Amino acid sequence: MTLTVETRHAVHEDHAKGMDTAELRKHFLAGGMFAEGEIRLTYTHYDRFTVGGAVPNGGSLTLGKVDETRTETFLERREMGIVNIGDTGTVEAAGETYEMNKGDVLYLGMGSGAVTFKGQGRFYITSCPAHHTYPSRLITVADCKEVKMGETATSNKRTIKMFVHPLVMESCQLVMGYTSLEEGSVWNTMPAHVHDRRMEAYLYWGMAPESRVLHLMGEPTETRHLFVANEEAVISPTWSIHAGAGIGEYTFIWAMAGDNVDYTDMDFVQPAELR
């Protein structure tokens, strides 16, 4: 098995103002995470949040020790949220086996030990430090909390599915779910917002190979952008807005960690205020 870990250090907003396109992508875009027969992680210094992909390709992959944490197992002092964005597969941890269909989410509590991925799943991994062990839980699409938002008139009619969320279950820091755009809508979040209490990561998926999402980032009065392809993630610092518009159908998985688990804790920035 191949395990690859890339480290991303935190970037100050003043530094980001002077970045060109290549440097913005180097620091804030995580691509190439889904490789057959591999686990690839991006370990960030934003609340020590980690994103990654595991593609067992019909075989078996085990995530155990990760040198960057200097712990016996990766989850010794961490919790994890996993989304299956592929065909049916299984995840094994702490003596339990969980069958995951496409769109299902698995929460693993702190101390779950090594995690083994099997089958034809395409597993998106998120993880952050934890202070307490909450029970592991498989949350199927039928079990999530679903919220409809937006309007056709403003091109942001969307369905938000909440999985690792206070309305569904308890966790330490991790909050996770995903948002799908209705046909004819392109804006995933507008008005844009920031939340200084939490960082966030976005994984865009379900897109055609030729499609792209124009992801908006940066300070509200110093916005920047990234063109994002299918199965690429954006690492969003606390000082950055996060919004975007896409070509064709897409879904984005949002995952956050920080001082609280209040999904509504955000400071909106109206379009007229953006620069």
Residues pairing with 267 in the sheet = 194
Q: Parallel, antiparallel, or unpaired: how do β-strands 175-181 and 192-194 relate?
A: unpaired
Residue 234 CA to residue 239 CA, distance in Å, equals 14
Region label for 103, one of left (φ > 0), alpha (ψ between -120 and 50) or beta (otherwise):
left
Q: Which residues pair with 107 in a beta bridge?
A: 81, 137
| Segment (H or E) for 17 | helix 13-17
Residue 263: partners with Cβ closer than 8 Å, 6 or more residues away: 162, 165, 166, 175
The binding site consists of 193, 195, 200, 242
Mark residue 235 as left, alpha or beta (left: phi above 0; alpha: psi -120 to 50; beta: remaining).
beta
Tokens representing 99 are: 């069958």
Q: How many CB atoms are closer than 10 A to CB 214?
A: 14
Q: Measuring CA to CA, which residue among 203, 177, 235 is closest to residue 45?
A: 235
Look at residue 42 and give its three-state secondary structure: strand
Q: Which of 33, 24, 26, 32 is nearest to 8 (CA)?
A: 26
* Residues flagged as binding site for Zn(2+): 193, 195, 200, 242
The gap between the terminal CA atoms of the chain, to the nearest Å, is 46
Instruction: Tell me the one-letter amino acid at 57.
Output: N
